[in-house]
């Protein structure tokens, strides 16, 4: 029996390139997106974006570097866009996702923001400020289906214009230089870890297995304690504090969707207790 041909739904995508190329200010519509509207702009063209785009609306936005994304939401995308020109200096491109008729409400953008943060965490591209942020999702089951369709089409359009920060690819990067300046050993190590993850470094499965084991960490900590304490789904530091006591920082880190705590007992060279700053530097240089 012959198979019936697969039915596909044709769509029309319209892209208005204000500067005549894909690197400038852009407005995108899609017939499959219905009410959806997307704006794209390099950082240096924000004034042009605001002058040409109708973006005083509810929506979500993406601040992008080559390998990192910060996901946010706003009731007035124009106002929030201007704000991030001064309070965040690392990003080079912005995407605004909204609606033609300003039909989103606060619950809608909470939901979309949280879903995009979740996807960025899974692939290890979430900027450090997103690791513990994202409002609770409070939408009905019916609205969740509608917003799911909106999000699915938005992710398709992002790939179309060359934004792949939500795609599950190997994003391991070279570790950035260690921090400079006069700081305590504890601050030095913690700053190095924050910078490492903010630069898009993703620990491989082999590294996570090695450095969360006593055998793989003892060389650097000189104690029977892993450098990384891996947290299970839904588990928090509060859940394991009796087991780890004060030997791991309160801050939670995340890499490639894996959450972990970081060994905190780092001391100056010559101290007779715990690991030394030089031990951390040796560990870091092997990443």
pLDDT at 265: 92
User: What are 158-204's pLDDT values in tens digits?
Assistant: 999 999 889 876 555 678 899 998 899 999 999 999 999 888 788 88
- Each residue of 64-91: pLDDT tens digit? 987 789 999 999 999 998 888 887 888 8
Residue 6: C-alpha distances to residues 9, 33, 152, 158 (Å): 10, 22, 20, 26
Is residue 55 within 8 A of residue 38, CB to CB? The reply is: no
Residue 159 sits at φ, ψ, to 5 deg, of -65, -35
CATH 3.40.1440.10 domain position(s) in the chain: 13-160
Percent of the chain with pLDDT over 70: 93
As a CATH number, domain 13-160 is 3.40.1440.10
| Cβ 197 vs Cβ 172: under 8 Å | no
What pLDDT is stored for residue 263 in this prediction? 95
Burial category of 104 from C-beta neighbours within 10 Å (exposed 0-12, middle 13-18, buried 19 and up) = buried
Residue 124 has pLDDT above 60, yes or no: yes
pTM over 0.85: no
Is it the case that residue 118 has pLDDT exceeding 70?
yes
pLDDT, tens only, 191-230: 999 999 888 788 887 788 889 999 888 888 888 899 999 9
């Amino acid at each position: 029996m012959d198979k019936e041909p697969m039915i596909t739904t044709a769509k029309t995508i319209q892209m208005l390139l204000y500067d005549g190329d894909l690197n400038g200010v852009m407005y995108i519509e899609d017939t499959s997106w219905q009410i959806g509207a997307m704006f794209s702009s390099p950082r240096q063209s924000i004034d042009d974006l605001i002058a040409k785009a109708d973006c005083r609306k509810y929506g979500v936005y993406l601040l992008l570097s080559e390998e990192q994304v910060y996901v946010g939401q706003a009731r007035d995308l124009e106002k929030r866009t201007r704000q991030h020109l001064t309070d965040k200096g690392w990003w080079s491109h912005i995407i605004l996702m909204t609606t033609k008729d300003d039909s989103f409400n606060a619950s809608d953008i909470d939901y979309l923001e949280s879903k995009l943060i979740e996807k960025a965490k899974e692939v290890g591209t979430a900027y450090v400020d997103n690791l513990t942020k994202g409002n609770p999702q409070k939408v009905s089951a019916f609205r969740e289906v509608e917003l799911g369709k909106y999000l699915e089409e938005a992710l398709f359009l992002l790939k179309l214009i060359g934004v792949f920060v939500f795609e599950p690819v190997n994003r391991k990067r070279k570790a950035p230089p260690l921090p400079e300046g006069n700081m305590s050993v504890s601050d030095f190590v913690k700053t190095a870890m924050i910078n490492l993850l903010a630069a898009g470094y993703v620990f491989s499965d082999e590294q996570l297995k090695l450095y969360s084991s006593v055998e793989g960490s003892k060389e650097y900590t000189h104690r029977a304690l892993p450098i990384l304490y891996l947290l299970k789904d839904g588990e928090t530091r509060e859940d394991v504090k009796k087991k780890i006591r004060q030997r791991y920082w309160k801050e939670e880190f995340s890499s490639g969707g894996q959450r972990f705590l970081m060994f905190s007992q780092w001391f100056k060279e010559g101290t007779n207790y715990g690991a030394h700053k030089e031990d951390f530097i040796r560990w870091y240089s092997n990443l």
